[in-house]
Structure formats: C-alpha cells, structure tokens
Amino acid sequence: MEGAVLAQGLTKRYGRNLAVDGIDLVLREGEIVGLLGPNGAGKTTTVGMLTGLLRPTAGRVRICGHDPEREPIVVKRLIGYVPDEPYLYEKLTGREFVTLMAELYRVRGPVAAMVDELLERFGLREVADSQIGSYSRGMREKVALCGQLVHQPQVLFLDEPTVGLDPRSARLLKDTLRAMADEGRTVLICTHILEMAEQICDRVAILDRGRIVAQGSLEELRDAARAGEDATLEDVFLRLTQEAEGVPEA
C-alpha cells in the first residue's frame, strides 16, 4: 500500500553532511502526521524532497502513487506546501495573491467566491484589498495558507505553521486541517510546538540527525520511550532524542 505519501530510503547528502539518512515513511489518506525533531534534524530537507523541490541523493518518493521527479506537474497539482517563510508578492493584495494561486493551479468553478470564502474564514476580509507588504507576520502566514488551500490539495505540507498565529487563528487552522483529513486528505506538519502536535496529529514521527527514531501515536511513542501514561509528548520527545544522542537519563 503506497498511501498518499511514500518515502523509501529517502536520503539527502550535502557534501559530507548526511542531512536525511535513508528514511521510510508512509502517510495514509485522512491522517494528520507531525514531523518533529530538534533544529537541524532534517525536517525541512525531508519536506523539500517529498514536495519535489529538492532532489534526493537516494531513495524513492511517491505522492498518491506519482513520482515528483518524473511527474512534477501532476504532483504539484496534488499538493500544497507552506514553507516556514513563504515567498509572497509584496505588491499584490491578499485577494490578488490568492486569485493568482487559483489561476496558477487552474482552479475551476466560482474562483472569486472561493477566494472570498477563504479570506473570510481566516479573518482577512478587511485587509483583502491591502498590499501584502503591509501585513503582519500572522496575516502573511494566513494568506500564504489560503494560497495553498484554494486548489484543495490532496496532501498539504506545512512547515512550522502556527509560529505567528494568535490562539484564535491557530484554532481555526487546526479545525481546517481536521476538516481536510475528514475529507480523506493528508496533512504533514513540521513543528517544534509539541502541544500543537499533541492536539492535532493522529501520528507523529520523530526525526533526529536525519533518522526517524520513533513513529506512531502518542501512546505508541510512550511505550517506545518507556515513559509512563501521564508522560507528555515533550517528555517522550526529549527522552527519545536524548537516547539517540547517547545522553544518559537524568
């Protein structure tokens, strides 16, 4: 079963630095998966390869059965990707930007109404006709997200999605992602915010120095880390990443 996202032996080497070291990952339809790991663990590099933006040194990627290297257009239509610092056109208004994204993705149907609905949902109606250059950090994140939701991607990749969001917007994002998953879509979230992963992810994979050191539901990770029932994801995360670094337990 290939799932919505498949990585097999996925590897990226930068010179002598093995940034991603042969990881295997399967994401199924309808699940929200968190990719967690300390700084420099290889999360962004992994997502770069899954989205076809970075060429793997070795290994195989499939998105809904398609190869991002051989079928880049097909794969780009299927996915959405919001990087941690999205590239935005400062001179465009929010409405123009999301409309442009809809056009690039050849969205059919009532595009203007779809764009309005997204901007409204993310509380951007009042700034919809202002230039993105004047937006706050959170507004920029939200408009970038709208630009990647307008074509209703089958798989959505988000890098550090809630960093600039206020609690209401973070909640809205979580509800939106859950609704997507309920429709059978797949979401991969790279995050440092363990609370967010705990609240929203069906499953997490913990990446450390380019390797997946554990993956599963929070309960499964608690078992893997031999942590007690009341252990938080933070406890589990610290224990697993410390073990991988050979740091003795306190």
Which residues in this chain contact ligand ATP in the complex, by CB under 6 A?
14, 17, 19, 37, 39-45
| Residue at 139: amino acid letter | M
Name the minimum Å distance from CB 41 to ligand ATP.
4
Long-range CB pairs of 131-136, under 8 A, 24+ apart, other chains included: 131/90, 131/91, 131/92, 131/93, 132/88, 132/89, 132/90, 132/91, 132/92, 132/93, 132/94, 132/97, 133/90, 133/91, 135/94, 136/164
Name the minimum Å distance from CB 47 to ligand ATP.
8
Q: Which is nearer to ligand ATP, 19 or 238 (CB)?
A: 19
Is 65 within 8 Å of 89 (Cβ atoms)? no
Name the minimum Å distance from CB 86 to ligand ATP.
14
DSSP 3-state assignment of 31?
A: coil
Q: Which is nearer to ligand ATP, 44 or 51 (CB)?
A: 44
Of 240, 213, 170, 186, nearest to 42 by C-alpha is 213
Name the minimum Å distance from CB 179 to ligand ATP.
27
Name the minimum Å distance from CB 45 to ligand ATP.
3
Give bridge partners of residue 3 from the DSSP assignment: none
The CA distance from 161 to 188, in Å, is: 11
Question: In what helix (H) or strand (E) does residue 60 lie, and over which residues does it extend?
Answer: strand 58-63
Name the minimum Å distance from CB 189 to ligand ATP.
12
Other Cβ atoms within 10 Å of 197 Cβ, number: 24
Q: Which is nearer to ligand ATP, 12 or 95 (CB)?
A: 12
The CA distance from 94 to 133, in Å, is: 10
Q: Which is nearer to ligand ATP, 23 or 227 (CB)?
A: 23
The CA distance from 183 to 154, in Å, is: 9
Q: Which is nearer to ligand ATP, 99 or 241 (CB)?
A: 241
| Residue at 174: amino acid letter | K
Name the minimum Å distance from CB 216 to ligand ATP.
20
The CA distance from 7 to 26, in Å, is: 6
Q: Which is nearer to ligand ATP, 42 or 94 (CB)?
A: 42
Give bridge partners of residue 131 from the DSSP assignment: 93
Q: Which is nearer to ligand ATP, 177 or 207 (CB)?
A: 207
